[in-house]
Structure 1
């Protein structure tokens, strides 16, 4: 099973830091955000990782190389200026990801979700084509994205009442055919595919009760840096 780290975003809300440094290379707790992911994946037994990039992508390749320093093999999926959005970026990387389910991690999050679970989810004998990790709504996204329907873990869009809504954590397991309708090179967000998959009952989910941070602003980056520093 392979993993993909999404690293193509511009990071507008993290400017001016991201004017000269790509978002995944911003440091927290003494190391770049993307390195936390790579080390966690390697510890859990991963050996092959794909990273997409656009803004300052050459810096990402220079910093991480072929992945051997982490016990991994890294393949890169370069995107044009402006990037391809999440679904478009994943679809463009499918030739590198192969024919089996794969794990996708946003490059600008920090979390303690057990990535080894991805393999168990991918091997489940069911009809799902995507599985999302959800978190309690953070202050900057109070309305959430989806909700879990009882213990069946069926993910449904949050509708008129959002009291039980949860936020997509930027962690998912996907089957290649989930992106079969996205032509390579197309710029496309992930949400339309998720809504369609939910309607067709091929998307499931689970709730993360651990530590998760969306490092989307300088303030949140500073908070995470302090938390990780205190933990050390």
Structure 2
């Protein structure tokens, strides 16, 4: 069974960390995020992998190469001139995926979910696809997936936070809604639902019509660890949660003064932090210099020249400001 990693997105909510690379290519604790995904699925025997590309494709190719560093063999599927969406991406890569069931994994997740168990669920289900679902205990803003007797029945709206009454009445807490992990197994007949040569989405253009046609979509529900790195605060929180016996991660070629204060932060490569400066809960991107006396917290920092020279600042990105040689993005 082949696998496909979706890596074509723009990463607008991670801007400016994605100013010179796409989201799956950003570094995460010393290796590209998409490299973690490749290693993750390789542990379950998936060695032949397709990776789709669109936005800043060279950044993904530089991060992954031929895949040998991550124990896999990679073929690339380029989407141009326009991005094709999650369903259109499959059709564009159909010639690479073959004629058997295949695995799809989002290129922006960190997880230890047992994919072998999900594949076994799929093989027993006689379904067109199997979605790997997880209880949304924190009621984060993910689409609610409704299920019954082991199968998906519908897709709802976004999960809503618990009300104050529900929080107080702990004996009557409602069941956590289920959310999609971005991991699924699909049969080749899903291609029958994909409109050719245009932007299309797996849920809207494959799963909803398939359910309407009486097809089965199996639900594999897991409580495995799963993290999605789609925003700057998520990126920092998950990085800190996964650090072992340390509160600061430092990349290659950095110079950090012993007379500076750096706590709960992620430092990328070739960063200089001078004496008398202080960082708390801060992400510092490649090549940034933190000058003496500068103090930052709850911020992402990139070089100002990168922002000044970029074509446009994405509308969905957090607002930032210029300070000297740097561009600072505060976050709550």
Same fold (TM over 0.5): yes
- Name the structure 2 match of 1:78: 78
- SS of the counterpart of 1:185? coil
Instruction: Please name the residue that 1:197 is paired with.
Output: 210
Aligned length, in residue pairs: 228
Contact 2:122 2:218 (C-alpha < 8 Å) held by counterparts: no
CA contact (8 A) 1:101 1:176 kept: yes
Contact 1:55–1:81 (CA<8 Å) still a contact in 2? no
Larger radius of gyration: 2
Tell me how far 1:5 sits from its aligned partner.
Answer: 0.3
**Contact 1:141-1:167 at 8 Å conserved across structures:** no
Moved more, 46-55 or 65-74: 65-74
CA shift for structure 1 position 134: 1.2
The TM-score with structure 1 as length reference comes to 0.89
Task: Pick from 179, 198, 210 the counterpart of residue 186 of structure 1.
Answer: 198
Give the corresponding residue for 1:146: 145
* Structure 2, unaligned runs of 5 or more: 160-173, 247-332
Moved over 3 A (4+): 162-165
Is 55-64 or 199-208 further displaced after alignment? 199-208
Give me the whole-angstrom Cα distance separating, in 2, the residues matched to 1:223 and 1:231: 15
State the alpha-carbon separation in 1 of the partners of residues 75 and 156 from structure 2: 39
Three-state SS of the structure 2 residue aligned to 1:194 is helix
Distance in 1 (CA, whole Å) between partners of 2:209 and 2:74 is: 31
| Higher strand fraction (1 or 2) | 2
In the alignment, which residue of structure 2 is the partner of 1:222?
236
Q: How far, CA to CA, are the matches of 1:221 and 1:66 in structure 2?
A: 26
- Asked if structure 1 preserves the Cα contact closer than 8 Å seen for 2:3 and 2:102, the reply is yes
Asked if structure 2 preserves the Cα contact closer than 8 Å seen for 1:87 and 1:188, the reply is yes
- In structure 1, the partner of 2:182 is 170
Query: 2 CA distance for matches of 1:4 and 1:226?
Result: 28
Q: Could you tell me how far 1:36 is from its partner in structure 2?
A: 1.3
Matched, 1:29 2:42: no
| Cα RMSD (Å) | 2.2
Structure scoring higher RCO (CA < 8 A, sep ≥ 6) equals 1
The answer to whether the 8 A contact 2:5-2:49 is kept is: yes
Conservation of the 8 A alpha-carbon contact between 2:35 and 2:63: no
**How much does 1:32 deviate?**
1.7
Aligned to 1:63: 63
Counterparts of 2:140 and 2:19, CA distance in 1: 23
The one of 152, 160, 163 equivalent to 1:155 is 152
CA contact (8 A) 1:55 1:82 kept: no
Give deviations 1:30-60, integer Å, cap 9, x for gaps. Answer: 3221111111222222220000011111121
